[in-house]
Amino acid sequence: MRERATTFSEAPRLAGVVCDPETGGLEERPAFVFLNAGILHRVGPSRIHVHLARALGRDGHPSLRFDFSGFGDSENPRDGLPFRDRGVAEAGRAMDYLKESLGSRQFILVGLCSGAEVGHASGVADPRVVGIVPMDGHIFRTPRFYLHRYGPRLIRLESWLNLLRGRTYLGPFIRRLVGPDPGPTLAEGSEVFEMDRPAKAEIEADLQQLVDRGVRMLQIFTGGMDDLCTYQGQFEEAFASIDFEELLQVEFFSEADHTFTSPRDQQRLVETVAGWARECWPRVDERPAPAPAEPKHERGRRRSPSAGMTDPAP
């Protein structure tokens, strides 16, 4: 396995690192493309992109972790496109580059937070995408979400004391119950985090399109974003109208923070993504070997019931 720094695309030039397994036949293995999480460098939060790329490379998957224009070592953008649209265009250029340099024809997009949103949109827009791995991506609140988030607080004495003092969680809870679900919101403070969030109907239509194309999905959520997701199974309940067949796997890292700071959570993440990829795209050398042939000298011989000796078969 070899890693090399590279630049690609024109106006602006984009910088990245290619992980090349050097195993041959790379055009038959989907390549992974890692997308910036917020304003972070291409290594990803807690270097998770590096850990993932190397683990996947050992399984024969090439990859590219690169910086969107305006981030890391890439040049500044030269257009006025919104972040999501520009991200989709640049993800497409990253796939073009891997096709030209390594022969890759199919791609899996990985992204956290805003990177998850760009990966989702790119997966819908580009038929070369055969898999997406959004982390803390699109999800909507369900009745059980509120039960998991607010239920424990209602039986705590401190919560009732806060109610008497005018400091309570019930206000936001009631407003959310009686009002429409605004869906996930991202922190304010930069262009990246001020994107308009699509309505649930739009995301449902996107997901149905991905299912119709046979795109595999590994949806990962963390307990660090408990204003979005609070339990395993919330994604499936939020999108119960869609039959994902065998295309969907959902993992809820209840103890992990949003950026996978803990080495234990990083290791679990690497094992989860690598295991998912191995199951969906098994290597030829990992397929079960045929049963060994019977030795020639044992063929056509049978055990004599009387003497316990071996005689030629008729």
Q: Along the 314 residues of the chain, how does pLDDT read in single tens digits?
A: 899 999 999 889 999 999 999 876 666 789 999 999 988 999 999 999 999 999 999 999 999 999 999 999 999 998 888 999 999 999 999 999 999 999 999 999 999 999 999 999 999 999 999 999 999 999 999 999 988 877 666 566 665 556 556 555 455 554 454 455 545 444 433 344 445 678 999 999 999 999 999 999 999 999 999 889 999 999 999 999 999 999 999 999 999 999 999 999 999 999 999 999 999 999 765 555 555 555 544 444 433 334 443 333 43
In Å, how far from its chain's centre is CA 192?
Answer: 19
Q: State residue 288's pLDDT score.
A: 53
Q: How far apart, in whole angstroms, are the C-alpha atoms of residue 68 and residue 65?
A: 10
Q: State residue 149's pLDDT score.
A: 78
Nearest to 133 by CA among 152, 115, 110: 110
Phi and psi, residue 265, nearest 5°: -70, -35
CATH class of the domain whose range is 2-141+199-286: alpha beta
Q: State residue 113's pLDDT score.
A: 94
Q: State residue 186's pLDDT score.
A: 43
Q: Strands of 14-20's sheet, edge to edge? A: 2-8, 14-20, 63-66, 31-35, 107-112, 129-135, 216-222, 248-253
pTM, to two decimals? 0.79
Q: State residue 160's pLDDT score.
A: 53
